[in-house]
């Protein structure tokens, strides 16, 4: 299809508007952040060029590493759980064996339309010990379930909120990809005597591998970006959620409560590079296994 097409500048008139705005809201801030990260503002001496000093400082900064470690742990636990759950539900709905298939599909997707602020506040209320569900359950059954907002549980509680928000979204991406498999393929497989699991392994999973890779990349980016949920929960769990709980929370606190714009830009750039490297690795791996 590509080969037939003439090479001309005509396509630019469609792409140019996007590129202009893109340059303004993506490229310019990145360039500006890189510029900022090379300077330091001192009380005495003002703004001065310091080269890579900010990066050296960040790489030796225990707060930065602890934030990075936390989102990495989040990434390796929450993302597989969420995607696996989404995949199971997508396969179940696609199998045609559910009663009320459409109701399942729409209802499980609904949380995606709920703003992170509302989702976090809802779960925060439910987690809460005063009129929360955990408190209710403990009271009613005489149990002593752990407080979801205590330091050792708060990351898992956040993971639960994020899973709740995005299971349905990922399920729908997988389901949409499954819908594009021609039905005749299944018929042929059945004639050849393939069972349900064989069909899933040999036909369905390969058919949606592109969707799986894209969903994984978006989830990886989402994990490293983690900000809304911890920042909103912070007022409920001030002891458990520090100002450097995630790298983005750290960058935000550095800018808006610490006025350390240069160092904040450095953290943002470092996180951007790390995210890109990992997203790229996921993409490469996804392409290789094809």
Partner 1 sequence: MTRRRRSPVLTALTGIVLIYSLIPLAWLVINATKTQDGLFTSFGLWFDDGRFALWENIRLTLTYDDGIFLRWLGNTVLYVVAGAGGATFLAVLAGYGLAKFDFPGRRAVFVTVIGAVAVPGTALAVPTFLMFSRLGLTNTPWSVIIPSLITPFGLYLMWTFAAEAIPDEIIEAARVDGASEARTFFTICVPMLAPGIVTVLLFSMVATWNNYFLPLIMLKDPDWYPLTVGLNAWNGQATTAGGTAVFHLVITGSLLTILPLLAAFLLLQRYWQSGLAAGSVKQ
Kindly identify the residues of this chain, within the stretch 110-129, that bind partner 1 according to CB under 8 A. 110-119, 121-123, 125-126
By beta-carbon proximity to partner 1, the closer residue of 66 and 225 is 225
Evaluate whether 82 touches 93 at the Cβ level (below 8 Å): no
Check binding of 164 to partner 1 (CB under 8 A).
yes
Q: Which listed range, 40-48, 50-58, 60-68, 177-185, lies at the site for partner 1 (CB under 8 A)?
A: 177-185
Question: Which of 28, 52, 59, 202 is close enough to bind partner 1 by CB under 8 A?
Answer: 28
Of 207, 219, 217, nearest to 174 (Cα)? 207
Question: Binding pattern to partner 1, positions 64-93, x when CB under 8 A?
Answer: ---------------------x---x--xx
Check binding of 218 to partner 1 (CB under 8 A).
yes
Check binding of 221 to partner 1 (CB under 8 A).
yes
Of 237, 275, 219, nearest to 120 (Cα)? 237
Measure the CA–CA gap between 234 and 161, rounded to whole angstroms: 14
Site residues for partner 1, window 245-284 (CB under 8 A)?
247-248, 251-252, 255-256, 261, 264-265, 268-269, 271-272, 275-276, 279-280
Question: Which of 18, 62, 142, 193 is close enough to bind partner 1 by CB under 8 A?
Answer: 18
By beta-carbon proximity to partner 1, the closer residue of 155 and 282 is 282
Give me the residue label for tokens 């005509």: 10
Handedness of CA 58, 246, 169, 79 (dihedral sign): positive
Q: How far is the CB of 266 from partner 1 (least distance, A)?
A: 11
The 10 Å Cβ neighbour count of residue 262 is 21
Q: How many residues does the chain have?
A: 290
The conformational region for residue 61 under phi > 0 = left, psi -120 to 50 = alpha, else beta, is beta
By beta-carbon proximity to partner 1, the closer residue of 24 and 59 is 24
Q: In this structure, what DSSP letter does residue 6 have?
A: P
Question: Which of 47, 48, 107, 259 is close enough to bind partner 1 by CB under 8 A?
Answer: 107
Q: How far apart are the first and last CA of the chain?
A: 22
Check binding of 190 to partner 1 (CB under 8 A).
yes
Evaluate whether 77 touches 159 at the Cβ level (below 8 Å): yes
Evaluate whether 282 touches 220 at the Cβ level (below 8 Å): yes
By beta-carbon proximity to partner 1, the closer residue of 50 and 274 is 274
Check binding of 62 to partner 1 (CB under 8 A).
no
């Amino acid at each position: 299809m590509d080969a037939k097409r003439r090479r001309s500048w005509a396509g630019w008139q469609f792409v140019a508007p996007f590129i202009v705005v893109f340059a303004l809201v993506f490229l310019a801030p990145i360039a500006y952040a890189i510029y900022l990260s090379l300077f330091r503002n001192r009380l005495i001496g003002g703004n001065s060029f310091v080269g890579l000093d900010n990066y050296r400082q960040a790489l030796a900064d225990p707060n930065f590493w602890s934030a990075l470690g936390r989102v990495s742990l989040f990434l390796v636990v929450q993302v597989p759980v969420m995607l696996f759950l989404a995949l199971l539900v997508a396969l179940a709905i696609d199998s045609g064996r559910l009663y009320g298939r459409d109701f399942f599909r729409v209802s499980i997707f609904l949380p995606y339309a709920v703003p992170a602020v509302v989702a976090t506040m809802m779960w925060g209320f439910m987690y809460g010990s005063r009129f929360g569900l955990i408190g209710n359950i403990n009271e009613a059954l005489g149990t002593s379930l752990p407080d979801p907002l205590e330091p050792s549980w708060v990351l898992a509680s956040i993971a639960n909120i994020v899973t709740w928000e995005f299971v349905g979204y990922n399920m729908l991406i997988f389901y949409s990809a499954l819908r594009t498999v021609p039905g005749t393929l299944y018929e042929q497989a059945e004639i050849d005597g393939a069972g349900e699991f064989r069909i899933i392994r040999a036909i369905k999973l390969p058919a949606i591998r592109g969707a799986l890779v894209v969903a994984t990349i978006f989830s990886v980016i989402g994990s490293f970006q983690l900000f809304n949920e911890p920042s909103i929960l912070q007022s409920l769990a001030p002891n458990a959620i520090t100002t450097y709980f995630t790298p983005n929370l750290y960058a935000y606190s550095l800018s808006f409560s610490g006025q350390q714009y240069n160092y904040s830009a450095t953290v943002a750039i470092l996180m951007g590079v790390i995210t890109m490297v990992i997203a790229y690795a996921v993409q490469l791996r996804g392409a290789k296994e094809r």
